[in-house]
Structure 1
Amino acid sequence: MSSFSKEIKLIAVWLSAIIVFLTALFLVNQVYQIYHLALGVNETFGRVVLVALIAISAGILLVPVFLFLRLPQTLTPPKEEDQVPKHKRRVFQRIRKNKLLIAEGLVPASEDQLEVSLTRLNEEADKIIKQTALSVFLTTSISQNGRLDAFTILFTHSRMVWKICHLYHQRPGLRDLAHLYANIGATTFLVSEIEDLDISLQLESLLSGVTKSTSFSSIPVVGPTATLVMDSLFEGSTNAFLTLRVGIIARQYCSCVTTWDSKKARKNATLEAGKMLSQIVTQGSTKVVGGILKAAKNAGFQSIKSGGQAIVKAGTKITEGVSSAARKVNPFGKRKSEAREMDQ
């Protein structure tokens, strides 16, 4: 294990210990207060309540641990070609116990049918990824609080990865979690080393198309409201893209039956996330703009009027903003971004 992975593991252990300690203090405090109130009614009643609360608290703490330990350990994808048949056989044996596949009658009878079963699980994983990305898009578009958004996204990404691992009926080991969550943390805080492609062009064409669409251009936005819309869609689109990318990497890792190439996985995830983002932005932008317009109207804005031109201009600014943010992620796009800022 690399020194970086060891550091991540150590940090995770300490954070977990702190969370467990604080949770225990909170539970003890709540149990004591309820017991004290029950004791005021009757001593016997107070003891019964105390025993019941201890049992409930123990169940709340132990049940998740029990469910986690029941899941089998993650099957780590091989790095050498000669290890692929053995890994594929282990995946086949594991996937035959998958509850979703059993319920839908898609349990593979042989290794030749493994691809069909994995395709079905991948479809379900995509639903989780898209739902999470839409949630992040809406949340960060409205919030626009940098520090709060960073921790919110980190928690949301971690929860999404856990759901995907659970879907494939796996219990990720500490090393696997360290690898995945290191990528999540880097993605959340826009560390440049995780980006291998210039994503700015993809986001530019996508957002330009969305803002010029018939349904979007019919929304009346002008003046200060257009600026607010621009900032909101900029934040939401970028964070949704990063969420999609993290989810796709986790899905690829859990469903891999060939040799694992981290660089190739990141590139494929970036391309696939760009394709998924169009649906997320189109679905969420109407809600975001509608909420902003309602808030602006309630605040007494009188300058809002119908006009597709204004939203197209806002869309252009969004494109430039996302391009700038994307190039912060990818250092190869830095010079072009700086040249554009000088022209403005």
Structure 2
Amino acid sequence: MEKPVDTFQPIIKTLIRVGIGLLVLLMIIAFNNVIQISSFMSGIHPLLGQITLVVLLLVFLALLLLPLISFLSFRKALPIPEDENSPEFANYLNETKRRLQKNRYLREKDYQFSDGSDLKNQIIQAYEILGKRSRELIKGKATGVFLSTSISQNGVLDSFFVLGTLTKMLWEVSRIYEERPSIARLVSLYGNVAATVLMARGIEDLDLLDEQVEPLIASILGGGMATLVPGAVMATNLVVNSITEGSVNALLTLRVGCIAQGYLSSVTIPERKALRRSATIEACGMLGEVMKENSVLILKAFAKGARNAAKNTFKL
């Protein structure tokens, strides 16, 4: 079975070393500023200088400790044992159960683990509940990408917007499943998702996109083009291109979210090929919902622009 990417330890160690070096440099600069400020206040009155020194040191210490405490509170990632019959796998399931019992989304749904049922199936059921919550989030992100990139039609800005959306979405999805994911877990998740997406064959994506997008565009434009002003048939190509561009970006967003779900909710070592295929199929199904719910908004935007253009033409 193909294992996920797990070669990020050198990168993590390098980042930690760089972070420690920057932190030491920042502490030296901050301490120097504290001494200068307290010396200035001592020129006014010695007691005022001492009070200023103590207050600034306490503030500096608090600013230093709060991020450290927050970082240490992150949970360590749980490695998935290969052998499901091993004691390590049983310990993995018990630790996963313990963490899921503290998950706020499961507590909101009043999900309870029972001692009599199979623990692995109970964890899968818990992940299904979290999956519904994360799918709502993923669909919302994909909707924003679909509308923004369909109307914007700016390749560079759209690329940065999609990249930022994907980065934020992965963080928010991981928070749903684990609430406090570790840095190593996040790096592994981002790396695995990126590797899985990049391994996808372009021709497969184009075929799936054609199967999903073309019938939807035909059905939408069948009744939607009537909203455009008469004689503006050339706008059809612009509308089709815009919806197609938005659909491609939305499909990418949906698939990345579904792949992340697959990694976060897997109780066994996931196989990339199977995960990529199932995530793509699920993403295509969700894409149809996004297009049907939001393509009308794009048509209205183009219709309004066409009417305004026609009015300005007649005025001239």
TM-score by length of structure 2 reads 0.70
User: 1:149 and 2:158 equivalent?
Assistant: yes
Q: 1:126 Cα shift?
A: 0.7
Q: Which whole-Å CA distance do the structure 1 matches of 2:264 and 2:100 have between them?
A: 11
The match for 2:251 among 221, 224, 241 is 241
Work out the CA distance in 2 between the residues paired with 1:148 and 1:97: 40
**Secondary structure of residue in 1 paired with 2:77:** coil
Q: Does 1:203 align with 2:199?
A: no
Distance 1:106 1:127 in 2: 19
State the distance in 2 between where 1:147 and 1:162 align. Answer: 23
SS at match of 1:212: helix
Q: Are residues 1:70 and 2:65 paired?
A: no
1:232 deviation in Å? Answer: 1.1
1:9 CA drift (Å): 5.0
Conserved? CA contact 1:249–1:269, under 8 Å:
yes
Report if aligned partners of 1:129, 1:160 keep a CA contact under 8 Å in 2.
yes
d(CA) in 2 for partners of 1:143 and 1:10? 40
Q: Map 1:1-344 to 2 at 5 A.
A: 5=8, 67=70, 69-82=72-85, 84-110=89-115, 111=119, 112-182=121-191, 191=198, 193-195=199-201, 198-213=204-219, 217-220=223-226, 221=228, 222-300=232-310
Give 1:176 shift. Answer: 3.2
Shift of 1:124: 0.4
Contact 1:71–1:169 (8 Å) recurs in 2: no
The aligned residue for residue 32 of structure 1 is none
Q: How much has 1:197 moved relative to structure 2?
A: 7.4
After superposition, what is the alpha-carbon deviation per residue over 1:33-69, rounded to whole angstroms, capped at 9, x for unaligned?
A: xxxxxxxxxxxxxxx9xx99x97xx87x986775564
Identity %: 30
Aligned Cα root-mean-square deviation (Å): 3.9
How far does residue 2 in structure 1 lie from its aligned partner after superposition?
7.7
1:294 is aligned with what amino acid?
K
Give distance in 2, aligned partners of 1:238 and 1:12: 34
| Cα distance in 1 between the residues matched to 2:244 and 2:181 | 34
Q: Which residue of 1 aligns with 2:39?
A: none
Q: CA deviation at 1:171?
A: 3.4
Q: Using the alignment, how far apart are the partners of 2:158 and 2:11 within structure 1? A: 22
Distance 1:13 1:286, change over 3 A: farther
SS at match of 1:284: helix
Aligned residues: 271
Amino acid at match of 2:79: T
Conserved 8 A contact 1:165-1:254: yes
Unaligned residue ranges in structure 1 (runs of 5+): 29-47, 304-344
Q: Distance in 2 between matches of 1:101 and 1:194?
A: 33
- Residues 1:67 and 1:107: Cα distance change in structure 2 (over 3 Å): farther
Give the TM-score taking structure 1 as reference length: 0.65
Question: C-alpha displacement at 1:185, in angstroms?
Answer: 5.3
State the SS of the aligned residue for 2:137: helix
Residue 261 of structure 1 deviates from its aligned partner by 1.5
After the TM superposition, list the runs of 4 or more consecutive aligned residues in structure 1 that deviate by more than 6 angstroms: 1-4, 10-17, 61-65
Greater CA drift, 240-249 or 253-262: 253-262
Query: What secondary structure is seen at the aligned counterpart in 1 of 2:225?
Result: coil
**Distance in 1, Cα, partners of 2:110 & 2:248:** 39
